[in-house]
Structure 1
Amino acid sequence: MNKVPLTVKGAEKLRAELEELKSVVRPRIIASIATARAHGDLKENAEYHAAKEQQSFTEGRISEIEAKLSNAQVIDVTKVDANGKVVFGATVEIEDIESERKVTYQIVGEDEANIKEGRISVGSPIARALIGKEVEDVVTVKAPGGDVEYEIISIEYI
């Protein structure tokens, strides 16, 4: 299976969620199931069925996170020798040449992407256009509404 790139922060966030699920959520669900069982007939016990459904969801999420972490290639952008180029994990400020609107994105793994927080997937059209470029380079991004040109204003490795 291919390695999936993750930033250090992304890996830490997944590990924290996994720890929370295993040490807090799972025991709470087990206690809920035990309490529901004590109420008797399980066929018509909505509390029991709800707890079992929650258990199933939680166990699925635990498995999903463990799989992601086992296939992750954690990349610390502060230790990458990027030579001034845009690389995975870099934070890039770009300016739309036509509208002169500036925006800053961090290029992250697919699971970490969140446009509202300024994190875009390494597989997104903008990230693919930026990778390997330098400050003052102009890139063309093929967007649904047509090609958009951006100039790279700055690159940070934080």
Structure 2
Amino acid sequence: MIKIPLTLVGADKMRQELHKLKTVERPWVINAISEARAQGDLSENAEYEAAKDRQGFVEGRIIELEGKLGSAQIIDPKTLNANGRCVFGSTVILEEMNSGDVVTYQIVGDDEADIKARKISISSPIARALIGKSSGDVAEVKTPGGIREYELIEVQYI
């Protein structure tokens, strides 16, 4: 079985979503289907169809989350000891060599990636270029606009 890397925070968010789906969404959908059935003819009952569609989504998401959590390799960045190298879960401070812009990213799993929260996927080009590098190293990243170079200023395990 393939292990899916997740940070501790990402796994907790998945567990919370799964709990909400099972304890709030699923009962709500069951009740909505019951109420729609009580209205009579199901062949032209839009509420019934909408509730059944929602039920399909909720059940599918429950299965998806249970599968991901079941095959997850949960990594707590605070417990990493990578000798200053960039690894999954680490937070990196980078300087774009041409512009001098400084950015901070955490390298996370595909399901956790959120560029607005400065979390980039382990499978993104920039993360792949950074893995294994240490402070002071330069990473070349192929982008649609050409190759960009980033100097790794600092690696943190927070």
Q: CA deviation at 1:5?
A: 0.4
- Residues 73-124 of structure 1, C-alpha deviations (whole Å, 9 max, x = no match): 1011111211111111011010011110111110000110111111101111
- The secondary structure found in structure 1 opposite 2:18 is helix
Aligned to 1:129: 129
How far, CA to CA, are the matches of 1:146 and 1:50 in structure 2?
A: 46
Residue identity in the other structure for 1:21: L
How far, CA to CA, are the matches of 2:29 and 2:144 in structure 1?
A: 45
Aligned to 2:116: 116
The alignment status of 1:15 with 2:8, answered yes or no, reads: no
Q: CA deviation at 1:14?
A: 0.3
Following superposition of structure 1 onto structure 2, how do residues 96-115 of structure 1 map, counting pairs within 5 Å? Answer: 96-115=96-115
Give the paired residue count. Answer: 158
How far, CA to CA, are the matches of 1:146 and 1:12 in structure 2?
A: 37
Aligned to 2:62: 62
Seq. identity, %: 59
How far, CA to CA, are the matches of 1:42 and 1:150 in structure 2?
A: 60
The alignment status of 1:83 with 2:87, answered yes or no, reads: no
Aligned to 1:142: 142
Q: CA deviation at 1:136?
A: 1.1
4+ residue runs of structure 1 moved beyond 3 angstroms?
none
Structure 2: gaps (5+ residues): none
Structure 1: gaps (5+ residues): none
